[in-house]
Structure 1
């Protein structure tokens, strides 16, 4: 059975109305220059980190890449901003939403257009501070860890494909164990 068979909602082509984007999830990773957004399914032990914003939505930390920013730098910045988290160990890419914008121009002038990608990663993290909540970003009110089933339920409230995305991240995540 393929990943698409096991995670059908995640692999079904969709339209994200909020950005007027046609998207399709794949474990085929995009080229660096197409990556505009990065999100990280974070693990603290066996639990998943979620962030609650000022709309009362639980989300997976991540966000928009800045001009000239590397993927690694973006991951670290977004984790600090939204979760007060720091990765410990490797950051693992496991898939992407490949997107085509129907808009007339890119979201930010330096971003690729009309094709772009949202990169999904996993990482073991430590929560070490409050979110920094920059003025131009989501305002995070709460950061918590949840058992996998609860994280899937809460993430799925903002789109059923996100519940499957968390399940896939759990399946593919292999924390390194000291020998």
Structure 2
């Protein structure tokens, strides 16, 4: 295939997924961080990625974490200085879910974020633009969360059916979280695993 054909196919795929998951692809404002955010299936440059999160599948169920505030979330978190995406994902899975990857992650896309804050969240992070990378992978939950003092304090890890995962995430956050899980299910199916 030519480069033009690849770009055309990629654009058609992106448009199809945006139409199927409109809440996920809609412009958002994340008040907690004062970010304007926009999801895209186009992957960002590595140097923009500050956060990595995963829809982890364990025997077809979605692995969720619950914190001390009773919020359900997908494991993942902030990349440390000079940490690779792979190392961050491995560390965050262990810290928050007591889980490990069983294979390479598939990338769903990223929220590209922009803030008007005068300084970055952490001094080494890109500013005023950054990206939150979202992926999916098969995982094994075979230990307990390490719960470092500077992270969310996880009180429960549970692998739940897809519909329940979507319901719990939407109840704790916004509608686009359910669509994010739906996108992971679809891309996992297209990879021949669902």
- TM-score normalized by structure 2? 0.89
Tell me which residue corresponds to 1:23. 37
Match runs of 1:68-79 below 5 Å: 68-79=82-93
Structure 2: where are the runs of 5+ without partners?
1-14
- TM-score normalized by structure 1? 0.96
Which among 74, 80, 86 is matched to residue 60 of structure 1? 74
RMSD across aligned C-alpha pairs, in angstroms? 1.2
Which among 89, 95, 114 is matched to residue 109 of structure 2? 95
Larger fraction in strand? 1
Separation in 1 of the partners of 2:145 and 2:22?
A: 33
Distance apart, 1:176 and its partner CA = 6.7
Q: Structure 1 pair 68/176, CA: closer, same or farther in 2 (3 Å)?
A: farther
Query: Is 1:118 aligned to residue 132 of structure 2?
Result: yes
Tell me which residue corresponds to 2:178. 163
Tell me which residue corresponds to 2:11. none
Separation in 2 of the partners of 1:176 and 1:131?
A: 30
Q: Give the 3-state SS of the residue equivalent to 1:74 in structure 2.
A: helix
Which among 41, 50, 53 is matched to residue 39 of structure 1? 53
Separation in 2 of the partners of 1:47 and 1:107?
A: 33
Structure of greater Rg: 2
Task: Give the length in aligned residue pairs.
Answer: 177
Separation in 2 of the partners of 1:105 and 1:131?
A: 31
